[in-house]
A and B are shown apart, each in its own frame.
Chain A
């Protein structure tokens, strides 16, 4: 795992920064459901793009990998949306 992190340190650095900002914003707007849904949507789209661009830069992007990020992005959005929508 450490080799993997070293190999992709720039991408993981960006992901860590964005996820940290995401958590801070979620905490800041924790009483504003509309904003939370918007933040979750933006976070999911960012993650899908991060995954696709990451694999595209390294020439390892396949249709299956693109679907995988799309599905994971959709899954995390649904997990949050299910709780937020009630």
Chain B
């Protein structure tokens, strides 16, 4: 009995003390960790050196996990994309027009060569113009019986949209010379989804060529293999575009079989991985940058309000550098790679 009464007295004394000294319970309040400390002349607990070190460690381990997961679970992480041949051709020709070059026509042999190159990269796990066994881009083109005077190849991976792919090629001097090169009349594209290095991604192969013997029939025929227009029948096009004297050539050609084949390999399936690594890493970086930036903003506001002078580094400078990095990540960064 005496034990209970002594505890009650003790609790009552604690409550009296808290009422008398409200600051003593501040450290038990959640908000206490977000505000600068007047008595210590320091920033909030969540902004001290130990906390920043913990943020760095968390970001490091998340990055490491994103590297490790594809090794144990290939295809879980990847790059979401919405790329199609129709847009690639449209943006390529737009860039060519802007730079005084003539439009390229889509060629099935070049597209088939591009398709084989893309599949070869997925199968053999390489990302280069020359395969590990020494196969060059020209070998794929010649393999499709495309006899050329000039030929070229552009590659891209991990991009989200067709416009981004063409913009990236245009920004790179070596790819730009292919993209707007006046030595080419025809182009072939392949947009192929697969798993490379454990990440689900989309490879884009663009092959250029100037045929030794230009074929009007082939050029017109290819225009109708653009994936977004698969419903257009070859017969309709032949009636509208192909000159009468060449209809015989078109009939001899096994149009239906090849058109189906073209549509089958040309129509891209949008990549939607379980986790889009671009969005995930961007979100993590922006979340941490935003969180630390917000805490620094609260620090400036609360210190000014309470007249707290701290013995720390320049808060405004920290805010400036964080703002620049977050803005760069948000507005500038594009995830794709071109070679």
Assess whether B285 is in contact with A80, with CB atoms less than 8 Å apart: yes
Assess whether B327 is in contact with A83, with CB atoms less than 8 Å apart: no
Assess whether A79 is in contact with B285, with CB atoms less than 8 Å apart: yes
Q: Flag A22-36 by CB within 8 Å of B: 1 or 0 each.
A: 110011001101001
Q: Flag A42-86 by CB within 8 Å of B: 1 or 0 each.
A: 010001001100110000101011011101101110111111111
Do A82 and B62 contact each other (CB < 8 Å), given the known contacts A1-B300, A68-B312?
Answer: yes
Assembled-state Cα–Cα distance A51/B49 (Å): 15
In this complex, how many residues of chain A approach chain B with their Cβ under 8 Å: the count is: 44
* Residues in B whose Cβ lies below 8 Å from that of A78: 56, 59-60, 63
- The residue that A68 contacts in the complex, of B49, B62, B281, B284, with Cβ under 8 A, is B49
Closest residue of A by beta carbon distance from B77: A86
| A24 CB, nearest partner CB in chain B, Å | 10
Assess whether B281 is in contact with A82, with CB atoms less than 8 Å apart: yes
Assembled-state Cα–Cα distance A23/B172 (Å): 19
The yes or no answer to B321 lying at the interface (CB within 8 A) is: yes
The yes or no answer to A38 lying at the interface (CB within 8 A) is: no
Do A4 and B328 contact each other (CB < 8 Å), given the known contacts A64-B49, A81-B63?
Answer: no
The yes or no answer to B100 lying at the interface (CB within 8 A) is: no
The yes or no answer to A5 lying at the interface (CB within 8 A) is: yes
| B50 CB, nearest partner CB in chain A, Å | 9
Assess whether B52 is in contact with A83, with CB atoms less than 8 Å apart: no
Main secondary structure of the interface of B (DSSP, over half): helix
Do A22 and B324 contact each other (CB < 8 Å), given the known contacts A51-B314, A78-B60?
Answer: yes
Assess whether A86 is in contact with B316, with CB atoms less than 8 Å apart: no
- The residue that A75 contacts in the complex, of B52, B320, B333, with Cβ under 8 A, is B52
Do A79 and B304 contact each other (CB < 8 Å), given the known contacts A31-B168, A86-B281?
Answer: no
Assess whether B318 is in contact with A85, with CB atoms less than 8 Å apart: no
The yes or no answer to B171 lying at the interface (CB within 8 A) is: yes
Do A76 and B62 contact each other (CB < 8 Å), given the known contacts A82-B284, A86-B335?
Answer: no
Q: Flag B214-228 by CB within 8 Å of A: 1 or 0 each.
A: 000000000000000
The 7 residue pairs across chains A and B that have the minimum distance between CB atoms: A71-B52, A79-B285, A68-B313, A76-B325, A78-B59, A31-B168, A86-B277
Chain B residues within 8 Å of A, Cβ to Cβ: 49, 52-53, 55-56, 59-60, 62-63, 66-67, 158, 167-168, 171-172, 199, 277-278, 281-282, 284-285, 288-289, 292, 300, 304, 311-314, 316-318, 320-322, 324-329, 332-338
Contacts A/B (CB < 8 Å), 29 sampled: A1-B300, A4-B316, A5-B316, A8-B314, A15-B317, A23-B328, A26-B332, A27-B332, A31-B167, A31-B336, A33-B337, A40-B325, A50-B317, A54-B317, A64-B312, A65-B313, A71-B53, A72-B313, A72-B321, A76-B325, A79-B59, A79-B285, A80-B329, A81-B63, A82-B59, A82-B281, A83-B278, A86-B66, A86-B335
